[in-house]
Chains A and B, each alone.
Chain A
Amino acid sequence: MLLQTAAVVAGGVAPHPLSGTAADWVWALPLLPLLGFVLNGALAIVGSARLGPADPSATDGAGHGDAHAGGHDSGHGVEAAAATATETLADGDAGHDDTGGTAAVHRHPYAGLVSIIGPLVLLAAFALACVICAAMVAVQPVTPFIQRYFAWMPVGDLKIDAAFQLDQLSMVVVLVITGVGALIHLFSVGYMRDDPGYPRYFAYLNLFVFFMLVLVLGANLPVTFVGWEGVGLCSYLLIGFWFSDRANADAGMKAFIANRVGDFGFMVAMFLLFANIGTLQYTEIAAAAPTALAVGGPLVTTVCLFLLLGCTGKSAQIPLYVWLPDAMAGPTPVSALIHAATMVTAGVYLVVRTSMLFAIAPAASLTVCVIGAVTALFAATIGLKQWDIKKVLAYSTISQLGFMFVAVGAGAYVAGIFHLVTHAFFKALLFLGAGSVIYAMHAAYHETHSHEDAQDMRNMGGLRSAMPVTWVLMWIATLAIAGIPLFAGFFSKDEILSTVFARAQGSTLSDASWMGIPGGALLYAVYGICLIAAFLTAVYMTRLMLYTFHGPNRTGDTERAHLHEAPVIMTLPLVVLGVLSAVGGFLNDPAFLPIAPTDLLGRWLEPVVGPATLQLTRGVPAEADPRMSAILAAVASAVALAGILVAVVRLKPAALRPAREPQPPETGIEGLLAHKYYVDEAYDRAIITPTVVLSRNILWRGLDGLIDGVVNLVPRIWRWIGDAGSAMQTGETGTYAWVLVVGVVIVLGTVALRT
């Protein structure tokens, strides 16, 4: 400990190589979105104050004035979908508006200003991140650059600073957040433009990015926790963005509560770490962990398992994944940014951040691996039978997050972060593409005042001709996620699979055992499960593409003519993401396929995850055998291709019927999958109902009543005394006189008798 303290002091004396460069501006990264939040929030408040009684949306919503005026079918991207509104539309919409307003599309008075501020702060943050990244590339620092602002919680031994930590890991994730975030903000400009709550939407979205950057840049666990809670809050606010629909508000609450369970784990892990190591700063934890904690000991395993609980909540893994599918109630760009690209990967990020702890807790690492693998397979099977286009993507996200967990659990930290990055590209693209589709579908149904579900794939089909740009880009993303060679997902998924395979062959993990199962066998099993999940990924994604874009159109005869491609502001981010999904894999080109500089990301992240990786491989630098890697890659590609082929051969889009018509019954395993294994129902019976019954009958009516009774008894006694006193005040002068006389007689009588 003494030595480490001395090292820290010495580190403080010699200036970090990054000080004096653009990295000094790291504080501005989160502050830019915060500025956007403040400005957009102010515009939302000012705008709502300005809305007069003539405004239709001023009549509903609890004083917000910008409450969702629509409430149409399922309330997804609804107002946005009317962006094509013309004079005729505004006319025809009168009878369509549930709130009884006069005009449906009521663009917010400050929509123009918000459209500039919202994306601009993100673009500025991205530009700054790029400049900082360039400075880092030039300097190649080996230690993290820590910027300390003020002592946040100096209490006894607990000294927590408000500090940011800039290193290769946080840099990569910051670039993803600001880059993909900026694209999604741009997309939102088109998607949400005609929503009455437009400034509020951007305020929340900016606030989310702020908290996400705090999460990533935090130099210690508490600062990260602030961001962790903040993104949870923004997630809640944005899932329930159209809160006038009860289901959306409930989905927000579900996400919030599921995350509370995870946060409990995060906090217990922090308490344990502080109690045993005495510090919560990442650099100090990493330095102290190998000496202060026994390798594979119960303490470090417990800490890691509690951290894992936190990660399963935020990253939607078994058992806490249930909130993510419901989170699709939010606007689709929100699903893309928060529930696919950034927030849900926070768990993966945290595991990599604390990789030194996980590396010396093999049992916990194997648990991460198993949870990831099971989740990947489990969610992929559910994804096979979903009809809602966003639900398919939601389960796909859960499944891909499972892959990332497998990676970080197996100590493939680089592969985990790599998959995080590529997944951010192609999943954001898929969600935004789905957003375009929903946008077009909704606009079409809006034209004819139909209340059909704009997200049900049974109502789509053949959209290829109407939306060629979206079609091409979504296919790119599908090939990327399926793992077809040379697309982004191929490289990252293959790296995960091959690293798991390598770890199974020889590492501290393969020597450890998990619940009596030898680690090596377990890792081979995980590899197998991941292969099956990868196969299913290809199947369900191809299914989504076939049902949405191919085959005959099932939208409706009159609606068909109204299906159009989205405006440029929405397709442009899609194109950028499409390019990234196609070439993003070359970020970390494997050695066996040297068509680009190899292992860029691996070398870049080496200073951060190197020690933990060496711990797992017992100090032997992991040199992947190129031939073995090539074989594994060939297997993975074959599996992906097989998945696509199976889907193309077996699925018959022509046989589908629109959602409004009677459907063939889903029985047996199909029904099980369509009902998501009845997990929600099981949770409802096993946890929620007992909790509610207990709270209502024992806590509320029982215990609460008892305590209330005791507490209320005291004032009630005084009340009785007061009532008795006040009853004597009759107001009758005669009574008073009688009382006076009687009193005098008694007093005088007493005096007389005594003397």
Chain B
Amino acid sequence: MLAESLFFSAILFAIGVVGVLTRRNAIIIFMCVELMLNAVNLTFIAFAQVYGYAGQVFVVFVMTVAAAEAAVGLAIIISIFRHRQTVNLTDINLLKG
């Protein structure tokens, strides 16, 4: 059971990483990051079955942080969109050397 859960969360995480690396739309990248976070959550839950409940406590933390991050991140993306009429990350590259 543990092995299957870990395998599943690894696939989820990899999908998230590939999404972040390949997609250009900020919203989608954002969702991919959420996917990666949830993959981590799944890992915590899976390990909690074996090593005790501390993992489940961590999941609550991660969800809280993710929610806060979603609020802030979406707000930023919206304000960027209002300024530049786009959320394509290739167009948003002002911070460079």
B92 within 8 A of A: yes
Residue of A nearest to B17 (CB): A741
- What total of chain A residues lie within 8 Å of the partner, measured CB to CB? 13
Residue of B nearest to A725 (CB): B97
Q: What is the CA–CA distance of A309 and B96 in the complex, to the nearest angstrom?
A: 67
A729 in contact with B24 (CB, 8 Å): no
Q: Out of A728, A734, A737, name the residue touching B97 (CB < 8 Å).
A: A728
Whether A729 touches B20, Cβ cut-off 8 Å, given contacts A734-B89, A734-B90, is: no
Chain A window 514-558, contacts with chain B (Cβ cutoff 8 Å), 1 for yes, 0 for no = 000000000000000000000000000000000000000000000
Count B-side interface residues using an 8 Å CB cutoff: 13
Q: Is the CB of B97 within 8 A of A732?
A: no
**B57 → A minimal CB distance (Å):** 25
Once the chains bind, are A731 and B93 in contact (CB under 8 Å)?
Answer: yes
Question: Which B residue's beta carbon lies closest to that of A728?
Answer: B97
In residues 691-747 of chain A, which contact B (Cβ within 8 Å)?
A: 725-734, 737-738, 741
Q: What distance in Å separates the Cβ of A734 from its nearest Cβ neighbour in chain B?
A: 6
Q: A152-173: contact bitstring with B at CB < 8 Å (1 yes, 0 no)?
A: 0000000000000000000000
Contact A726 B89 (CB under 8 A): no
Q: Considering the chains assembled together, what is the distance between the CA atoms of A727 and B97 in angstroms?
A: 6
Q: Is the CB of B97 within 8 A of A729?
A: yes
The docked-state distance in angstroms from the alpha carbon of A733 to that of B94 is: 10
Write the A197-227 contact mask toward B (1 if CB under 8 angstroms, else 0): 0000000000000000000000000000000
Q: Which residues of A contact B89 (CB under 8 A)?
A: 732-734
* CB<8 Å pairs between A and B, sample of 6: A725-B97, A728-B97, A731-B94, A733-B29, A734-B21, A741-B21
- Whether B93 pairs with A732 at a CB distance below 8 angstroms is yes
Find out whether the CB atom of B24 lies under 8 angstroms from the CB atom of A734: yes
Q: How far is the CA of A146 from the CA of B94 in the complex (A)?
A: 78
Report yes or no: B96 in contact with A729, Cβ–Cβ below 8 A. Answer: yes
Q: Which residue of A lies closest to B95 (CB)?
A: A731
Chain A residues within CB distance 8 Å of chain B: 725-734, 737-738, 741
CB-based contact B95/A729 at 8 Å: yes
Interchain CA distance A734-B92 in the complex, whole Å: 11
Chain B residue contacts of A725, Cβ below 8 A: 97
Query: What chain B residues lie within 8 Å of A729 (beta carbons)?
Result: 95-97
Specify which chain A residues have a CB less than 8 angstroms from the CB of B29 in the assembled complex: 733
Residue pair A726, B97 in contact (C-beta under 8 Å): yes
Which chain A residue lies CB-closest to B89?
A733
In the complex, which residue of chain A has the Cβ closest to the Cβ of B20? A737
Report the separation of the CA atoms of residues A737 and B16 in the bound assembly, to the nearest whole angstrom: 12
CB-based nearest B residue for A735: B93
| A453→B97 CA distance, assembly (Å) | 67
Q: Which residues of B contact A738 (CB under 8 A)?
A: 21
Q: Can you add 15 more A-B contacts, CB < 8 Å, to A726-B97, A732-B89, A737-B21? A: A727-B97, A728-B97, A729-B96, A729-B97, A730-B93, A730-B96, A731-B93, A731-B95, A731-B96, A733-B29, A734-B21, A734-B89, A734-B90, A737-B20, A738-B21
Rounded to whole angstroms, the CA-CA distance of A729 and B94 in the bound complex is 10
A738 to B21, CA, bound (A): 6
- Residue in chain A with minimal CB distance to B24: A734
- CB neighbours of B17 from chain A (8 A): 741
- Report the separation of the CA atoms of residues A727 and B24 in the bound assembly, to the nearest whole angstrom: 22
Residues of B within 8 A of A741 (CB): 17, 21
Complex-state Cα separation, A728 to B96, whole angstroms: 8
Could you say which of A725, A726, A728, A734 has the most chain B C-beta atoms within 10 Å of its C-beta?
Answer: A734
Distance (Å) between the CB of B54 and the closest chain A CB?
23
